[in-house]
Amino acid sequence: MNKPVDKLFENNKLVDPFNRQITYLRLSVTDRCDLRCTYCMSEKMTFLNKKEVLTFEEMYKLCRGFIKVGIKKIRITGGEPLVRKGIMDLFSMLKPHLSYDLNELTLTTNGTQLSRYAKQLYSNGVRRINVSLDTLDPMKFKLITRVGKLQDVLSGIDAARDANLKIKINCVALKNINENEIDNFINWCVEKDFDLTFIETMPMGDIGNENRLNHFLSLDQLKKSLTSKYKLRDISLSTGGPARYSRIEGSNIKLGFITPLSHNFCSSCNRVRIDATGVLHQCLGQSNSLDFRKILRDPFSTDEDLLENIKNSVKQKPEKHSFAYDFSKANIKGQINRHMSLTGG
């Protein structure tokens, strides 16, 4: 299913209205997931039907267009990307670009399917992955995910290490749920040599009877607590993403903090997101969007039309997201109706 790589791609750059160069595309391949994390989705979700979701051929065409105008990194997301049938076909399509015009192909996963796919990911050019994991306690894991088994994820992580994939752990910090095991989490990552990033819960989508505010944990408070136990040194590393990094003295790992509610992190944003239906979201925390599915399925649309729409979409990228936590009123502002599982984590 591989397509020939065009060696004559233009050396274009995508620059938004705020002079940020856009080099990073996050592509959600499905809104489906084999977990039901309480902060992410309702227990009884209604998922998209097959016709609404882009085919792999459509996704490849879209990625190829973005690569042609300056995208250097693509992250495959979901939902859980590895639950989509035939997912390795898309990685196989994109792999040849790593030899020419794409610097990195990677993914974010919940880890449940890694035992099956880790070796295939490596053979298709993936060298590092992000694994979403919020607890090392089996009972808490079941509480957070509603349906998951922690051992499935741990076995998947072991398989990824055996396949020579570099692993970063993403942990959503949750008040009254996992805040009392943060130290154990850090120690585990130090022992395993996994980088670790903490994330504040984000106000996206209806999650049923759950209230995110009940579990919101400010990473400012978390970091202050950690500095009394660990020697942290802030470092200037910037991946263009939202995380701010520190080093833990005596270890090799980087500790990241992503703070969508307590601190705006948009000044260095270098990314855009495409959800599983082909809608491009210029910002995770805004409603600006462009429907590429219509363009891809229009029989009269040309490759030039696709590239022009990509460029125009970036010209509409907003300055910053609208998420905020109002400490005086104890409420969350900037709620977005679409689920993270559709948009891509």
Q: What is the DSSP string of 226-242?
A: HHTTS-EEE-----SSS
Task: Give tens-digit pLDDT for 142-151.
Answer: 999 999 999 9
Res. 315 pLDDT band, cuts 50 70 90:
confident
Q: Answer whether residue 306 shows pLDDT above 90.
A: yes
Q: Is residue 58 part of a domain?
A: yes
- Secondary structure letter of residue 18 according to DSSP: T
Res. 209 pLDDT band, cuts 50 70 90:
very low
| Residues in CB range of 81: below 8 A, 6 or more apart | 28, 29, 30, 87, 107, 108, 109
Mean pLDDT of 286-302: 87
Res. 4 pLDDT band, cuts 50 70 90:
very low
Beta strands (DSSP E) in 45-174 are: 73-77, 104-109, 128-132, 166-173
What is d(CA 113, CA 331) in angstroms, rounded to the nearest whole number? 36
Q: Answer whether residue 222 shows pLDDT above 60.
A: yes
Q: Is residue 9 part of a domain?
A: no
Q: Answer whether residue 333 shows pLDDT above 90.
A: no
283 exposure class (CB count in 10 Å sphere: 0-12, 13-18, 19+): buried
Q: Is residue 153 part of a domain?
A: yes
CA distances from 13 to 7, 8, 119, 171, 273 (A): 17, 15, 33, 33, 17
Q: Is residue 2 part of a domain?
A: no
Which has more confidence, 244 or 169? 169
Domain count, the chain: 1
Which has more confidence, 326 or 51? 51
Task: Give tens-digit pLDDT for 96-113.
Answer: 999 999 999 999 999 999
Res. 29 pLDDT band, cuts 50 70 90:
very high
Helical H segments across 180-288, by residue range: 182-192, 219-227
Res. 208 pLDDT band, cuts 50 70 90:
very low
| Residues in CB range of 166: below 8 A, 6 or more apart | 127, 128, 129
The whole-number pLDDT of residue 259 equals 77
| Tokens 């000044």 -> residue | 267
Q: Is residue 228 part of a domain?
A: yes
Res. 260 pLDDT band, cuts 50 70 90:
low
The whole-number pLDDT of residue 213 equals 64
Average pLDDT score, the chain: 84
Q: Is residue 6 part of a domain?
A: no
CA distances from 35 to 55, 206, 224, 334 (A): 23, 16, 32, 26
The gap from C-alpha 147 to its chain's centroid, in whole angstroms, comes to 21
Q: Is residue 293 part of a domain?
A: yes
The CATH number given to whatever domain includes residue 57 is: 3.20.20.70
What is d(CA 196, CA 246) in angstroms, rounded to the nearest whole number? 10
| Tokens 């016709």 -> residue | 51
What is d(CA 214, CA 26) in angstroms, rounded to the nearest whole number? 29
Q: Is residue 94 part of a domain?
A: yes
CA distances from 170 to 30, 38, 196, 276 (A): 20, 16, 6, 22
Q: Answer whether residue 264 shows pLDDT above 80.
A: no
Domain, as residue range, for 43: 14-343
Q: Answer whether residue 160 shows pLDDT above 60.
A: yes
